[in-house]
Structure 1
């Protein structure tokens, strides 16, 4: 199946316009008319691709998280842990850095921590499943939850407040922290 570049270009313009507007407004203040004007498209064109603003938001978030989980799945499970964990962290951090503006806007607008909670649940459950950890093994569950929550919060802090730390440096720091927990 061949993807029409015009469709991709239009969707990219709509998404970028939405993210730009979202960085200055709350989601309920962004209108289809605002997006259409900024993307230089007709409102009807917007509706060819998305049902409404919330559908657009959901698709952007889903695509972003899909990219993150795809990278996670390529490097996890990791054996031996020490050498591969650093590669996993570097890959995830590079992806977050590539999508920095989008992640920043989404976390900035995440006043109820829905995105953070979604990421925590997503990766915790993924690791528990891959490692075949029973839901009744409370020790392993809380160790996994602790590690995932800590890593996600470090990512969020790095994105929102720490502009000095380079991605490779953050990867090294996270790797050292995880190795101390082993």
Structure 2
């Protein structure tokens, strides 16, 4: 992709995020974005269909950045280091993730994040489980839902406990799952 196109898209997205923080999604118009970015309104429409498309692309980008960070910094197990990595990244980028979570009336951010977390948990648990209680999808959906719920709580309450504390608490709750996965790994 042409460097100028990337730069323009990033300018539009950054402007959108600034306006999201100031006004909230409902009050933002394409004119607001164009004015603030000092570009023509048609330029915004050249890159994005409307503000809903822009929100969707923004969510897509930040979910992808989170997943890329996790993929690059941890192994593919249900481990304390994997959880800690997620919470550290969210902590470093807290403002943007709080904005996306709180300004998404239609649940795009949550559903996209849920889908990706559930898929990751299924992959981690899938090939390692011989116990039927862990292999029918219930466990992966339970873990993904619980994790998303805790993540939302942590973000919405402005990180009421630090990364180490939340990681330790989650790992103690996940102990039955992680023990099962470790014992299955050791037997193979």
Partner residue in 2 for 1:99: 93
1:145 Cα deviation from its structure 2 partner: 1.5
Corresponding residue for residue 177 of structure 1:
173
Instruction: Label 1:122 to 1:164 Cα distance change in 2 as closer, same or farther (>3 A).
Output: closer
What corresponds to 1:160 in structure 2? 156
* Gap runs ≥5 in structure 1: none
* Structure 1 position 107, deviation (Å): 1.3
User: Per-residue deviation at 1:60?
Assistant: 0.8
CA contact (8 A) 2:121 2:143 kept: no
The equivalent of 2:28 in structure 1 is: 30
After superposition, where does 1:29-178 map in structure 2 within 5 Å?
29-74=27-72, 75-78=74-77, 85-132=79-126, 139-140=134-135, 141-178=137-174
Structure 2: give runs of 5+ residues left out of the alignment: 180-188
* Cα displacement (A) at 1:165: 2.2
Equivalent residue, structure 1, for 2:186: none
Change (3 A) 1:151 1:130: closer
Contact 1:14/1:39, CA 8 A, preserved across alignment: yes
**Cα shift at 1:76:** 4.5
Supply the distance in 2 between the matched residues of 1:166 and 1:42 (Cα, whole angstroms): 44
| Whole-angstrom distance in 1 between the partners of 2:55 and 2:158 | 26
How many residues get paired? 173
TM-score (norm 2): 0.74
CA–CA separation in structure 1 for the residues paired with 2:134 and 2:75: 21
Is this contact kept in 2: 1:120–1:145, CA < 8 A? no
Give the whole-Å Cα distance in 1 for the aligned partners of 2:15 and 2:120: 33
Q: Partners in 2 of 1:156 and 1:121 — Cα distance?
A: 15
What TM-score comes out, normalization by structure 1 length? Answer: 0.76
Moved over 6 A (4+): none
What secondary structure, in the 3-state scheme, does the structure 1 residue paired with 2:120 have? helix
Match of 2:185 in 1: none
CA distance in 1, matches of 2:165, 2:16: 32
